[in-house]
Amino acid sequence: MAALHFSATFRHANSPLHYSSKLRITGFTQRNSICQLFFIRKSNSTRALRKLVIKNVASDKRQELNEPLSQQGTLDNFVADSASIASSIKYHAEFKTSFSPEKFELDKAYLATAQSVCDSLIINWNATYDYYEKINVKQAYYMSMEYLQGRALLNAIGNLQLSGPYAEALRKLGQNLEDVANQEPDAALGNGGLGRLASCFLDSLATLNYPAWGYGLRYKYGLFKQLITKDGQEEEAENWLEKGNPWEILRNDVSYPVKFYGEVISGPNGTKQWIGGENILAVAYDVPIPGYKTRTTINLRLWSTKVSPAEFDLQAFNTGDHAKAYAAMKNAEKVCYVLYPGDESLEGKVLRLKQQYTLCSASLQDIFARFEKRSGNTVNWDTFPEKVVVQMNDTHPTLCIPELIRILMDVKGLSWEKAWDITKRTVAYTNHTVLPEALEKWSLTLLQDLLPRHVEIIRRIDEEFIHEIVSKYGIDDLDLLQQKLRKMRILENIELPNSVIELLNNLKKVPASENVKEIGLDDNDIKATKDKEDDEAGEEEQEEYDNFTREDADKKTEWTFKVDPNLPRMVRMANLCVVGGLSVNGVAKIHSEIVKDEVFDEFYKLWPEKFQNKTNGVTPRRWIRFCNPDLSNIITQWIGTDDWVTDLEKLAVLRKFADNEDLQLEWMESKKRNKIKVASFLKEKTGYVVNPNAMFDVQVKRIHEYKRQLLNILGIVYRYKKMKELSAEDRKQKFVPRVCIFGGKAFATYVQAKRIVKFITDVGATVNHDPEIGDLLKVVFVPDYNVSVAEVLIPGSELSQHISTAGMEASGTSNMKFAMNGCVLIGTLDGANVEIREEVGEDNFFLFGAKANEIAGLRKERAEGKFVSDPRFEEVKAYVRSGVFGPYNYEELMGSLEGNEGYGRADYFLVGKDFPNYLESQEAVDEAYRDQKRWTRMSILNTAGSYKFSSDRTIHEYARDIWQIEPVVLP
């Protein structure tokens, strides 16, 4: 037979899951460390294989299926050679793809090849989870709103060590593996570093044999497909699923109910029941994730949403009210339409919150089902944290905390005390940002409406936490208590619980003749968004919560606790993560210190043992081995082994060869070949022709003011202006030729970011058509930047820009990928830049800009009107305003860099402050690049020093320090 049916079976969604492999996976044989995974008998056909003759394939297949099983190939004796793989591809081309049978063109070849690979992945997937179930191992569950995987085909066959046989098989079928792989769309499941990191982590978990599982949402349209037009960025739906996704397996038998709205009713003995409201179903789609040179294949389970067909209103449809007929279906399906729907409207906020809760609820129900199945007849809930750990990737999955408590209490019947204790030992939190707007807050009114039971739970967590604060700090210093409550409470601008007021009044009685004591809870430092549903919080709140009076027989005590009815009442999700999590980690050394010293400083003082650093990493399989095979072969040759692919510390061996002229020559030639590929790619995608002998200078990442693409393009404008002021001969002497490449998406409603995209493209349109400048300077914006684009650009890059305002980038991961591929970085001391510079050497990193501990003082100086702008900065702004780059009005963009205060002004991200230092650093770049021997040495040392930034190292640290799980190697 050509394919093994995936045999894991499941019970109903409301019952414990059941796995039973109908085929026991035993007797795997090894040949050159390759698992023999296919079942297809090696073909004896003598007909030419370069033509796909479907009729003969069908008859051959029928003949094979009629032969005795003993004559069929087995796992014990099968050799995964190109002929057998070709037969598998041909079988899938005829029987599995949704294309006409007469042709074998690229689209069809891709789907058939991918389905062929999936056969082997499913076999290993079954074996992995059969074994995990058998030994009942503790498992980590990674919860993330994003997974930016990139194309799967080359990665999968590379991990299976089958790249050569697949390439040869496709040649026999008249196709080229690279052309076939290029037909695969990137899975539109993420946007930026958060999703790329999550995908790297899954690769490392599988490669290192850790028992783990990823959970996410299956977005139908992703974020958006970015188009670059004369008007700048435009967005359209990215229908990556249009031709199907061969890597996913629909589990119609794995679905869970997810509820919104409704009401909570009390039962006997204080039990709670959440009833009524809106109910949808979350249905599982599984994506197998293979490890490198291992049989371990873990799972990424993605949830899609729907309702029962019974919800279709047939009567309304037949009467012509079609919108009403399918309203419930569309309402359920839209939860998973788009990643990060715009949240400017109330409807957008509701949809985002629905997405987050769907991820948490469906995933936790699934985890509970698996735990109960593995526990057998007797479930001991005290052991739940010994078998399960949930890692929340940023604040999006915060609702895991109240949802876990809800299930334990309302469904499993545990007490509050036990449920809260289990939760605090199960859930961990990774912080990815210090930006206030990214430390999520949700309107209490919205949460109360959508998830009423969870608000009850959150209120109780907040109440118990306040008691802990009071117990820790007392009430002798009311100003101190006010400070603690303002920064640490989960609920913001919300009355204190009665139990806390009673406690305070019991702790300290004050004679009535004394002044009334007030603890103000309004936080004027917090810039809360005014949600529509909070606008009329006013008079009722004022009357109900402004003061509380207590009398006893001896004396009168009056406490007043102020809330501000003009500010919204919010739930601070990051604070809930810290209170309810067993661990809090940042993602780079400097970021983790900011988390401890600034973002969560009060929490750190209370629970220092909770806080850790886990510097991010990227998988060296995708980000060197597969995307840059030319450089990989050179590394293997000079190190003497390819073990570096799973033990990146071996890259350090390259340091001793950094001055070797033979290695430098090979290194330069490899870089040149990759640059030629980039030049060809840019011509195809943008129409611009660039010179591969110029320096390739790249900044690719999400477009955001703090990432400072604006600083980069203003530096280019200044360079262009200076070129124009020189004679042709002088400019060639003074400037190194450069191709400046940008890529990244601006969020659809982020107006300033979209202005920056428009500005970059206008500069490019002017510079690239200037005959005086020619090849000395090109500016190219690559549309629709994604993982596949990165896999082309990064190997051919020579200078990479990571120039965020210091203290604002948590880590970054693209900086690691560029360094691994021998690209020299220019950047600030921000995020992982700090550690990269330490590892590659200060002389091999171009540093500029203010330091993180200086930023607050510099902003204060600006607000006081003390900042004096560099003349070059004023010169470049005036040049932009002169209209040289077209008729578009850039006053709003340039105005954001001026003034001392005000929204959207005062250069909050310090572009003007760092501009002169940035120009000086770029001059140092030119000087270094002129000496190609020096530059190549720097490039080699960047690769050699990047070993620390493997996601393998990061995952080992998570497993040891947070998850407490061990590798499990399949027997």
What letter would DSSP give residue 41?
P
CA angle 129–130–132, rounded 5-degree value: 60
Using H for helix, E for strand and C for coil, what is the string for 559-621? EEEECCCCCCCEEEHHHHHHHHCCCEEECCHHHHHHHHHHHCHHHHHHCHHHEEECCCCECHH
Helix axes 709-724, 751-767, angle to 10 degrees: 20
Please state, in angstroms and as integers, the Cα–Cα distance from residue 27 to each residue in 378, 435, 449, 840, following that order: 33, 53, 56, 46
Which phi and psi angles does 475 have, rounded to 5°?
A: -125, 15
Q: Are strands 427-430 and 584-586 parallel, antiparallel or unpaired?
A: parallel
List, in order, residues 6 or more apart from 596 with CB less than 8 Å away: 586, 604, 611
Using H for helix, E for strand and C for coil, what is the string for 286-297? EEEEECCCCCCE
Assess contact for 630 and 466: CB atoms under 8 A. no
Could you identify the residue written with the tokens 């400070």? Answer: 483
Strand, coil or helix: 26: coil
Assess contact for 470 and 500: CB atoms under 8 A. yes
Of 836, 331, 349, residue with least CA distance to 568: 349
What tokens were used for 739?
């191709």
List, in order, residues 6 or more apart from 518 with CB less than 8 Å away: 559, 560, 561, 562
Q: Catalytic residue numbers?
A: 432, 701-702, 707, 813, 817
Could you identify the residue written with the tokens 């596949």? Answer: 788
Assess contact for 831 and 847: CB atoms under 8 A. no
> Which amino acid is it at 303?
W
d(CA 27, CA 742): 51
The region, left, alpha or beta by phi > 0 then psi within -120 to 50, assigned to residue 307 is beta
d(CA 943, CA 617): 14
End-to-end Cα, the chain, rounded Å: 25
Q: Are strands 695-700 and 799-802 parallel, antiparallel or unpaired?
A: parallel
